[in-house]
Amino acid sequence: MNPFEDPVMRERYDAFFKNLMHDSRIVIPLLRDTVSDFAGMSDDEIRKTLPMEKDGIHIALSENESNNQFGRVVFDAVIRTTSEDMRKRIIIDIEGQTHYDSLGSLIPRIVYYGARNIDSQKGRVFRGDSYDDLERSRSVWVIIKPPVRDANTGFRMKLDVERIEGLHLPDAIPSFDFLDMSVIQLGLPNRDLPLSSRILDVFLGNSETYRENISEIVKEINIADDDDLLKEAVEVGELYDGLVKSLRRDLRDEVKAEVKAEIKPEVKAEVKAEVKAEVDLDYARSIAELYFPDIISGEITVEKALTYVPPPLKDGFKRNIDRMLASSE
């Protein structure tokens, strides 16, 4: 039972997540909590690195498609920082993932998206062999409905340098922080979590979670009570709640129908067969007792008597006759 298998729900959540990632009030805490380049920076310091729109709230998102000979990848939200020094610029891909089967299958996808984020820069950020102009790639993955065991968790993966056994590292080895991937997994709201997790738990959780916790979050990130973002959060949350209730109702109806159509007839047929077998055995015993005196007196043989017994009762009749003959000896 998964509401995100519903195409309408999937489309609404996808659109809503992208709207959230367009809003600096949501994105700034997320970057500070998940991307090491922004750790410890104030809201204003982070905002100065982002391509802000004129309203001072929304972020101008970059091209979110990567095309090469291997195919097309569409990112959820791509942000390019605005530092004049290309080597200090960062390209950030933020992805929303509703759920997954296992981390073992999710992590290769995260790494692939990070690699495509780097690959997409050739011809757009740099040309030829000017790899020195490569922008650092950062991927942030928000898992909205992870397995319960993984709720409220997070981790980071990055390129690392290790010494090869038997050899020394160079004296001056350059930084290899070209690729950094972070994953945060949402769950139930918890005041001890980082701000970004608490924000996303509220906005991407169900409507009940929203109603219980939104007032506190709104104060922390300065969102007005009549903000369109809040209205959309309620609509998406109520759609999710409605789908869950509908799926549960459908599941109950499906189970009821299955029980009625499959399980009950089987039980009924089994009980009916058992009752019929007992009745047949009693009837066969009665017939055996009826013919037994004639068989004992030699007036009729067992084989002859069997010709007068209905086919379904022949086995029961024969067993009873054999038992009675054995007990009379």
Which residues does 39 contact at the CB level (< 8 Å), separation at least 6?
32
Q: What is the DSSP letter of 100?
A: -
Q: Tokens for 58?
A: 């929304």
For residues 151 and 166, give the distance between their C-alpha atoms in angstroms, rounded to a whole number: 42
User: What does the mean pLDDT of the chain come to?
Assistant: 79
Which residues does 109 contact at the CB level (< 8 Å), separation at least 6?
none
> Tokens 């298998």 sit at which residue?
5
Which residues does 295 contact at the CB level (< 8 Å), separation at least 6?
301, 302, 305, 321, 325
Give the model confidence (pLDDT) of 189-224 as tens digits: 677 888 888 888 878 765 455 556 666 777 777 777
Q: Are 52 and 25 within 8 A, CB to CB?
A: no
Nearest residue to 139 (alpha-carbon basis) of 100, 110, 161: 110
For residues 265 and 271, give the distance between their C-alpha atoms in angstroms, rounded to a whole number: 10
Give the model confidence (pLDDT) of 261-311 as tens digits: 555 566 566 656 665 666 666 767 777 777 777 777 777 888 887 877 777
For residues 142 and 35, give the distance between their C-alpha atoms in angstroms, rounded to a whole number: 13
